[in-house]
Amino acid sequence: MILDQRLVVYSFIRSVVLSFCDDWGMATVEKFEDLEVWQNARALTARIYKLTRSGEFSKDFGLRDQIRRATISIVSNIAEGFGRKSSSQFIQFLEIASGSTSEVEAQLYVALDLEYMTKEQFAEALSAAQRIGQMLTRLMQYLRTAPNRPSSTTGGNH
C-alpha cells in the first residue's frame, strides 16, 4: 500500500515537472539531469571552481571553500529534491537550493570587493546565479499551484 502511494506521488511529481517544462518550452524531463536549472547550477559550480583555483582567491581558504560548498549545495539539492517522493519535499529542497544561490551571490560581491575577480567575471557569475534563482522560484511556484496534486488520502504530501 505504501509503495503504491509513493508511486502515485512520484508519478505526480514527474508529471508536474514535465508539464512545467512544456509550459516553459523545455525538453522532456525524465531525470534530474534533464532539468535546465540543474544544468545551469552544474555549469555555475564549474565556473566557480575555475575562478577559485588560482590567484589570491585560491589562497583565501575560507571564502574559496564556502563559495564552492554553496554552489555544490545548489546542484545537489535540486537533484536530491527531484528524487524525493512528494512535491512538498521537492519544494523544500528547491528552497534550500534557492538559499544557497543567494549565498553564492553574496560571496561573489565579497570576492569582487577583495579584487579576487574582474568585474566581467563577477557580472557573468552573478548573472548565472540570478538566473538559477529565478528558475528555482518559477519551479517552486509551479509545484505549489500545479493542478491535480495528489491528496493526502493518496499518500501525497503537499
Looking up residue 106, the CATH number of its domain turns out to be 1.20.1440.60
Q: 156 in a domain, yes or no? A: no
Q: 68 in a domain, yes or no? A: yes
Is residue 130 scored above 90 in pLDDT?
Answer: yes
Q: 93 in a domain, yes or no? A: yes
Whose CA is closest to 81, among 151, 44, 136? 136
pLDDT of residue 150: 47
pLDDT of residue 156: 41
pLDDT of residue 153: 33
Query: Does residue 8 or residue 43 have the better pLDDT?
Result: 43
Q: 151 in a domain, yes or no? A: no
Distance in angstroms (rounded) separating the CA atoms of residues 75 and 69: 10
Is 81 within 8 Å of 134 (Cβ atoms)?
Answer: no
> What does the angle CA 95 – CA 68 – CA 32 come to, to the nearest 5 degrees?
50
Q: How many domains does the chain have?
A: 1
pLDDT band at 152 (very low <50, low <70, confident <90, very high): very low
pLDDT of residue 85: 78
Query: Does residue 64 or residue 151 have the better pLDDT?
Result: 64
Whole-number Cα distances in Å, 85 to 13, 20, 158:
8, 17, 11
Query: Does residue 125 or residue 8 have the better pLDDT?
Result: 125
Distance in angstroms (rounded) separating the CA atoms of residues 106 and 116: 14
Q: 152 in a domain, yes or no? A: no
Please tell me whether residue 81 adopts helix, strand or coil conformation: helix
Q: 158 in a domain, yes or no? A: no
Residue-number span of the structural domain to which 119 is assigned: 2-146
Q: 118 in a domain, yes or no? A: yes
